Structures are given as C-alpha cells and as structure tokens.
Chains A and B, each alone.
Chain A
Amino acid sequence: MQLTQTQTAPMHRRRSLTDVQIQVLFIAPTIILLVLWNIFPLFYSLYLSFTEFSVIKPDVPPAWIGLQNYNKLLNDPRIWQYFALTGRYVVTTVALQAIIGFGLALFLRERFKGSGLVTTLILIPIMMSPVVIGLFWKLIYNPAFGIFNYLIGYSVPNSGPDWLGEASRALWAIIIVDVWMWSPFVMLLCLSGLKAIPDYLYEAAAIDRASPWFQFWRITLPQVAPLLLIAILFRTIEAFKTFDLVMGLTGGGPGDSTELIAVYLYRAAFTRFTTGESSALAYIILVIVIAVSNLYVRSLNRIRGEQ
C-alpha cells in the first residue's frame, strides 16, 4: 500500500498542473515583456505628454501642466511645416512606390528566361540595413565622384547638382532612395496578387471581346487591389516614420529642408531632451497615423466586401 503511494505521488504532482496553468506559464513571459516594453511606456508617455519633464533631469519630477504641451506644439508653425513636408514626402514616395512596384510586378508576371533571378535581384534593397543604404547612397549622390550624376548624364565631375546639399533637391534625393528601397516590397505583394488571378478570367474576358486595356482596368486592377492596398498601407505607415534614411543621408538638412516629423521628434526627444513635449508630439503623430491607416482599412474592407 505504501509502495503504491510513493510511486503515484510524483505522477499526482505533475497532474496537478492543469491545462490552464500550463497555458499561463507559456503566455506569462510574453505578457510581462509586452507590458514592460510596450504597454507601460505607452501609458507612461501619455502621462508625460501632459507634464513638464526631461529624462536628463531625473531628480526633477514630472510637473503636471495639462494641455500646455499640445497647445504649444499645435500653435507652432514650424511643426505644421514639418507635418506638411512629411505629408508631401509620404504621398510622393508611396505613390511612386505603388506605381513602380505594380509596374515591376506586371513585368515580372510574364515568365521569361531568368525572371526568377531578376525577381531576386530586385528584392535585394529590402534586405539591406537602412543605415548602410544611407551611407552608400551618400557616396552615390556625391557630386565629385558619385555615380548617380554620371548615370543621368553629367559625365564631368562636379558639373551635376549636389543632390543632398541643395535644399530644393534633398527631399527628392531621399524619396529616390526610399522608392529604390521599397518599390520591390510593393512589387512582391502585387506579384503574388497577380499570380493568384486565375487564367480563366482572362480567357472569359478574351471571349467577351475585352481589349487588353479593358481587361487591365476591369480584371487585373480590381483583383490585385486588396494586396496593393495592404502594400500601400504598410508603406504609408513606414514612410510616416522615416527617420533612419534621413539621418543617414542629410540629417534633416540642408537647413530644415528634409526635417521630417520623425526626425524633428528625435531631436526634441534625444538632443534637446524635452521629454514631456516630445511625448505629446509622439501622440499627435500616433493619432494621425491611426487615422490614415483607418481610411485605408476601410477602403480595403469595402473592396473585400465586394468580392
């Protein structure tokens, strides 16, 4: 009798761990990390955005000042200027990426010799670190020895424009790099969308005497639209946050001609260390990004609902 008990005891202890407890054990570390690194900072920074505080003065506690930070930011014409700049940047770069990415996808959808290799080569920019990209595009843009000006027709050194040094061109220089880097991403999503369109739709359209143009507008585009919109959504959110490319290429200059809102936020938070104010700015950006994404998600749902 005793023997049986000693044998079953460990079994019994193991069994006492219920399924729910095991689930909790697996989930808890993730939850704790999520709370510590994401949820807590999210709410703490929301609190800080209503205070006067700087992280480099930890002995001065946050002083509650209500909406003053928001008031100050929203009345600062420079902030509006940077938002406008960011808006222009986002619209331009995402539009170009969508057009070029979709175009590349249309091109690569046709199977030809080496199309697999070409696809892989086109994808390389996505795989590289933005900091590295920033550094070598700086060399590529260099007016004295960079290859960019040479390729667009200025074969004599220093005869072409200084892309990163001229206020009128610097933003375009960043857009070009961003488009170069991320059009392949749009292409990848569009390509998978295009390949999923069944051939019989085109056969039916051919029988229905639809011209290639009509087929593109009435079949190809609507069929790819959901994936194209997802790509645009991702790229819009990312473009809004563009920081690393700017820091690598221009650092926001010349002057403040490439001072995107994320760059300005970085400076406010980590060079001027106005922690309270920059928290408020971060929240303003967050609200805008959420609003814009919601517009996309809504139109995405509308398109999906149609299918």
Chain B
Amino acid sequence: MADIELKQVEKRFGEHYAVRPLDLFIKNGEFVALLGPSGCGKTTTLRMIAGLETVSGGRIILNGQDVTWLKPSQRDVAMVFQFFALYPHLTAWENIAFPLQAEGESRENIKRRVKEVAELLRIEPLLKSRPGALSSGDQQRVALARALVRRPSCFLMDEPLGALDADFRETMRSEIKRLHILQNATTVYVTHDQIEAMAMADRIVVMSQGVVQQVGTPAEVYHTPSNLFVAQFIGSPGMNLVKGTWADNVVALPGGNRYAPPDGWPAALHRGLSGSGVIVGFRPEAVQIHPNGQLAAGVYSVDLHGSYTMLVLEMGDDHSIHARVSRDAHFTVGETIRFDLNPSMVRFFDPKTERAIAHSA
C-alpha cells in the first residue's frame, strides 16, 4: 500500500501541453478519480503514474520512492485498461497467472492466489475460457483479477467501465467499489463519467485542457465548484449559471429580476469581484417555488423524471435554467412562476476570471 505524490508533473508534445504542471498527493488507501472530458489529460496523467508515458517535467513519488524514471515493471503498480488488454491467446486462468509467472512465483502459490482472486471476483467457472469467448463484463472481471492478483501497492484504472454496456456498468461500479473497500488499496481511477466519479471516489480531480480545475470530495466539487468549468461539468444537468450585474447590494438578473444575495455574500462580492459583472450559480435543487419569491421566470418545459419533475425555466429571453421540483407539483407551459434560491446553495462567480467568489463567513 502506498501514497502517490505528483510534484509539478507535466507532459508536453512539442509546444502543446497535454498536462500542465500538476501537484497532487494521494493518500494511502484513497480512491481518487481523475475526471474530465476527453483530451483533458487525465489518461496521460494516469499513464505517467504507471510509467507507460515519460514525464516532460516534475517528479512522481510512489511510497516515498522517486519513480519518475523507473520502468512500469519497477513501480509496483497494477493497471486496468479501458479495453481490458487481456492476452488473447491465453485462457482467463493464464491471464490472471501472468503477473505471478512473470515474477517467477512457485506453482502452488500461483494456483492458490489465482483461485483466491477468482473467488473474490466470482469468475471461477470462466477460468478455462479464452478472452474472446467471454462477455465484455467478464473480460473486465478477468482484467481486474489480473490486476489484483499481484497485490500491488496501487491500482490504476483507465476508464475500466467505458467499454461495457450501460446495465453492466452499474454492477461493475459497485463491484469495483466493494473491491476497493476489501483491499483498501490506493486507487487512481480515470473516467469522463461524473456519475461514476461521484459514486466511487473519495476525492475527485477535475481536469480540463491539461489543467487541474479542482481537487475535492464529491460533495465539494458538486456544491462548491471552484470555477465555471467545474460548475457546468459536474451534475446533470450542470449548475445553473445566470449572468447579472452587481450594484447597490443587489444583483440585476435578466428579465428584470433583482436578487439580494444571502447574508455574508455582499461583503464577499464587494471584495472578490473584478468588475460589476457577476454570475449567479445554483443547482436545480436549490430552486424553491414560492408565491412571494424574489425571482420570476416563465415555464418553458415540464419533464417528469419519475421521482421528481425537472422544469426548464426561461429567465429573460435566452437564459434557461433548470429547476428540480416535487413530482406532485403541476405547472403549465408558458405560466410565470416565482421562486427563491436556497441561501446555502447559492454560489457566485466572476465572469472575467471564471473563478468562484469565496464566501466570507
């Protein structure tokens, strides 16, 4: 088991940065998700930790040892690849035994350990099959078994569920989570799926265009995004972001709305904003319908999602916002409703710097 520490790690291809200098400390036993859209540098970062990609600068420290220039085989990491990367000519058993055989383990040891890990992943009946004969879910289980069998100090997973069918994905998600809890091994998990990251990770590293946007617990990145990118990227739909102007302790919003920020915010806004422009951010569930609410918007569409209803509201001409309301409430398209925002769930961003304004309290 091990800590992973990245110090100013970067990856350049010529002039182009795949990963801008990045600092990250991953505690022993922690499950960290690298989350971002494709091309954001998350996989490159993972491959640098694995040693499959050389760094252009910075240092990688694994369990106190500088491994920056060590080969993958010298790092004591295991990796699960997006497309499994099983050895097609070997049976499932041989695939799982491969890392042990490569290390020259004794026959009995190999047999015992493969059996243990196959039991853990419930794949004993598949051990004689070749990967080509297995479903993608089973292939991924074999790939997980191969990663687990050596008991490495950390696991690196590169979109391990990306190639699976939707219904399989959820099963495997809880399975990976269960394995993590059982093994308590440091895990770095790359994904572009924020639901996966939210559901599994202790901490999420949100990346975009080679830059770390925010590092925090799922709750932190969800409720307190550090900038506009994170606010939009996390959550489905993302955070509502409404442009307004800050003057006289009131934010003027589209459609003639005037919003007085909750306690503590006016001072923070005075200090933090670079100009008069401000962006008000709030999650759909922060909307509280109230006949005397200080904000008004027209109902654009009403989508019943089963356990709740998602309203799309139009504030002004082209500002649509999402509001999550009770499934019992009824609205007609076109009507104007009034609402308030849950004071603890309102966030403010500076449109110039795109950064969140820190609350003063």
Contacts and interface: CB of A to CB of B under 8 A. Distances in A.
Contacts of B72: 203, 206-207, 209
Contact of B150 (A200, A205, A208): A208
Interface stretch (A97-105, A174-182, A215-223): A215-223
B132 A206 contact: no
A305 to B, nearest CB: 9
A262 B78 CA distance: 57
B317 interface: no
B233 interface: no
Interface string B86-122: 1111100000001101110000000000000000000
A208 B81 contact: no
A82 B86 CA distance: 49
A306 interface: yes
Given A207-B78, A211-B102, A218-B98, A307 B132 contact: yes
B71 interface: yes
B81 A306 contact: no
B35 interface: no
Contact of A209 (B73, B87, B89, B132): B73
A201 interface: yes
A206 B90 CA distance: 17
- Chain B interface bracket (under 10, 10 to 19, 20 to 34, 35 or more): 20 to 34
Contact of B77 (A207, A210, A218): A207
A201 B98 CA distance: 12
B85 A209 contact: no
A210 B98 contact: yes
Contact of B83 (A200, A205, A211, A223): A200
Contacts of B90: 218, 222
A214 interface: yes
Nearest to B131: A307
Q: Name the interface size band of chain A.
A: 10 to 19
B203 interface: no
B146 interface: yes
Interface in B193-238: none
Interface string B54-96: 0000000000000000011100011101010111111000000
B102 A208 contact: yes
Contacts of B50: 207
B130 interface: yes
A218 B79 CA distance: 19
Contacts of A210: 73, 98-99, 102
B71 A206 contact: yes
18 contacts: A200-B83, A203-B52, A203-B81, A204-B85, A204-B86, A207-B50, A207-B73, A207-B77, A207-B78, A208-B78, A209-B103, A210-B99, A210-B102, A214-B102, A218-B98, A222-B89, A307-B130, A307-B132
Interface of A: 200-201, 203-211, 214, 218-219, 222-223, 306-307
Interface of B: 50-52, 71-73, 77-79, 81, 83, 85-90, 98-99, 101-103, 130, 132, 146, 150
Given A207-B78, A210-B102, A211-B73, 5 more contacts: A205-B98, A208-B73, A208-B102, A214-B102, A307-B130
User: Considering the complex of A and B, which 7 residue pairs feature the smallest CB-CB distances, nearest first?
Assistant: A208-B99, A210-B102, A204-B85, A209-B73, A206-B72, A200-B85, A207-B79
